[in-house]
Structure 1
């Protein structure tokens, strides 16, 4: 038997994981370096280009791109935006109810297949919502870099972020989970839940 098999059920506890930042957690000047880098593949670029019907041959025609100043295909710039924004969600907008806008979008350097991107966000401003008491507006500058520390993208974005009191996060119902799914507080004593979680 393993230690896990013989551990008394009284030691079992439901613990909260990362639940994202709420409006109160943001402070102007804070910088969040988002976890994980992401290597951009040829498949990412070709699929995204096809799905979005981008017909610029720089993204899908190697012979054409080889004759340009870059000498190879460029990764679709809107893919770079989508990837960088996605990387920032865990820290910035995991608890957002909406994104109000993307501003000051700048592509500073090209991205090529095989580049690995990293992203960080800096809080530029925050304020209470004038029309919705359960959220506040947070403006961040998102910056993406490649593996050589070259800035490839910057943009500002402003999500409406839930206030903690209105979200009422709990270990049993973290963001994105419907009520009652999986292990609940009542199950922490070792009693099987109605869904069979142990």
Structure 2
């Protein structure tokens, strides 16, 4: 019979516990003027651009016709601007809207410079304003400016984004049931 509280080399078995990961920001966590530099850059590939252009039926040959694009002022295909928007917004979700119940709008969208295959995009969000919801007690409304840059520090995109974000008291986050997990899935505290 073996002692289950020790490892093979006789050292005590470490205590096992369920520890909370990042649950995202709740309405109370936002402060006007805060800037969140979103983790991880993302290199845009030719496949990203061609796939997204075809899926969205964007028929501008600048995105999928190399011969056409070579004859333009850019000399090569450009990445579809709506892909750049989707990518930057997606990068911001971890910091801005993991706990959003809805996105109310995207305003002041500006493409500052073209994005090419092989560019690596980085994004950050600055909190511009926040306010209580007039019609829903469980959320607040947060407006951020989302800015995206390429590897050469050139700003390629900016936009304002306004999600409704849950208040912490209504979210009831826990280590055993983080956002998006159904109750009882995976390791539970009683399994420790």
The verdict on a shared fold, with TM-score over 0.5 as the criterion, is: yes
Number of aligned residue pairs: give it. Answer: 187
By how many angstroms is 1:102 displaced?
Answer: 0.1
1:100 aligns with 2:100: no
Question: Following superposition of structure 1 onto structure 2, how do residues 123-134 of structure 1 map, counting pairs within 5 Å?
Answer: 123-134=127-138
CA apart distance, 1:104: 0.1
Structure 1 94/3 Cα, relative in aligned 2: closer, same or farther at 3 Å? farther
Give the one of 142, 148, 154 matched to 1:144.
Answer: 148
Gaps of 5+ in 1: 189-198
Helix, strand or coil: the match of 2:95?
coil
After TM superposition, the structure 1 = structure 2 runs for residues 1-198 of structure 1, keeping only pairs within 5 Å, are 7-8=12-13, 11-188=15-192
TM-score by length of 1: 0.91
Unaligned 5+ segments in structure 2 are 1-5
Moved over 6 A (4+): 1-5
Give the Cα–Cα distance (whole angstroms) in 1 for the partners of residues 141 and 31 of structure 2.
12
Distance 2:63 2:12 in 1: 56
Distance (whole Å) between structure 2 residues aligned to residue 159 and residue 4 of structure 1: 53
What's the CA shift for 1:4? 10
SS for the counterpart of 1:90 is helix
Contact 2:7 2:13 in 1 (8 A): no
Pick closer, same or farther for the CA change 1:23–1:6 going to 2, 3 Å: same
When the two chains are superposed, the root-mean-square deviation of aligned CA atoms in Å is 1.6
C-alpha distance 5-39 of structure 1, shift in aligned 2 (>3 A): farther
* CA-CA distance at 1:186 after TM superposition: 1.1
Q: How far does the alpha carbon of each residue in 1:81-120 deviate from its partner, in whole angstroms, 9 at most, with x for none? A: 0000000000000000000000000000000000000000
